[in-house]
Amino acid sequence: MFSVPRGRVHVGPALGILGGMGPLATADFYRRLVARTPAGSDQEHLPVLMWADPAVPDRTAALLGRGPSPVPTLVAGARWLKRAGVCCLAIPCNTAHAYVDQVSKAVGVEVLDMIGAALRAAVDTAAGVTRVGILSTQGTRSASLYERAGARIGVDVLQVSGRIQSAYVDPAIRAVKAGADRAVPEQQIASAAAALREQGAQVVIAACTEIPLISGAAARIVPVVDSTDALVDAALARLWQGGDGVRPGRRIA
């Protein structure tokens, strides 16, 4: 079991990262967690245990009925992390959140709510935000993850058309996963963000952990909330507190 050394200033034991979906997105999440933790020394950072298994079956394919369920692999990783002593899990993959309830119930572990955190961050970008655009995988769309979360807090969720999803968003995500040059996918995401702005979106959520890596041009068109940063903030709000006992506030880059 993982134990927290004496003298730590954070709250609780280790954070578990259930990752590999994809590997670059997982590494990006951990990098951001370290960068956004207001620690004054190495010793003040959160202890983290990571399970990054790229063999997790494709979440979108499963949701669309074209591939096996990722639940057994996700549960295996979550059980390993729980045995190692983590108190909660961060899953840096929006689409995997379609399976969060199954994983949490099977393992008996808390999973941080990435979808809710991203929507709350979007609403917090400015006064009067009620229409939020989503750039995500086909799987996240089909599972209506953001639509259901938006309904709970009175936010209208907008999706790009099926044509734009297929022509711009899907290939951009695939390009990042493949390690391709990012110039073209960045312009594709910018085009999709512009379409959402035309539909009335006041802010757009980069609701796939690959999209924040190529959202620079989109952010010059419409405010973009990074779902990865939102999950980082949820982890910090849950686990970190400074030596003065004050938790950090939300800081969306």
Could you read off the pLDDT of 67-77 as tens digits, one per residue? 999 999 999 99
Asked if the bond preceding 108 is cis, omega within 30° of 0, the reply is: no
Q: How confident is the model at residue 243 (pLDDT cuts 50, 70, 90)?
A: very low
Measured CA to CA, the distance from residue 185 to residue 171 in angstroms comes to: 7
* Averaged confidence pLDDT in the chain: 90
> Which of the residues are catalytic?
93, 208
Q: What pLDDT was estimated at residue 7?
A: 40
CATH T-level fold of 15-114+230-239? Rossmann fold (3.40.50)
Q: Residue ranges of the domains in the chain?
A: 15-114+230-239, 115-227
Write the pLDDT tens digit of every residue in 135-164: 999 999 999 999 999 999 999 999 999 999
Confidence of residue 252 (pLDDT cuts 50, 70, 90): very low
CATH code given to domain 115-227: 3.40.50.1860
Question: Would you state the pLDDT for residue 43?
Answer: 87
Give the pLDDT confidence score for residue 11 in this predicted structure: 44
Range 191-205 burial, b when 16+ CB lie within 10 A, else e: bbbbbbbeeebbbbb
Q: Is the pLDDT of residue 91 over 70?
A: yes
| CA atoms of 210 and 40, how far apart (whole Å) | 30
Query: In whole angstroms, what is the distance from residue 34 CA to residue 229 CA?
Result: 11
Q: Which of the two residues, 13 and 16, has the higher pLDDT score? A: 16
> CA-to-CA distance for 141 and 201, rounded, in angstroms?
16
The residue with greater pLDDT, 228 or 6, is: 228
**pLDDT band with cut points at 50, 70 and 90 for residue 246:** very low
The pLDDT of residue 241 is: 64
Residue 240 has a pLDDT of: 82
> What is the secondary structure of 52-119 as a DSSP string?
E-TTSPPHHHHHTTSS--SHHHHHHHHHHHHHHT-SEEE---TGGGGGHHHHHHHHT-EE--HHHHHH
Residue 118 has pLDDT above 90, yes or no: yes
Q: Which of the four pLDDT bands, split at 50, 70 and 90, describes residue 12?
A: low
Rg (CA), the chain: 18
Instruction: List 17's β-bridge partners, or say none.
Output: 50, 90
Q: By percentage, how much of the chain surpasses pLDDT 90?
A: 85
Mean pLDDT of 44-59: 95
Tally of CB atoms within 10 A around 91: 26
Q: Report how far residue 149's alpha carbon sits from residue 77's, in angstroms, rounded to the nearest whole number.
A: 26
The DSSP annotation for 149-175 comes to HHHHHT-EEEE--HHHIIIIIHHHHHH
The H or E element containing residue 226 is strand 224-226
CB proximity list for 27: less than 8 A, separation 6 or greater: none
Q: What is the pLDDT of residues 173-196, one digit of tens each?
A: 999 999 999 999 999 999 999 999
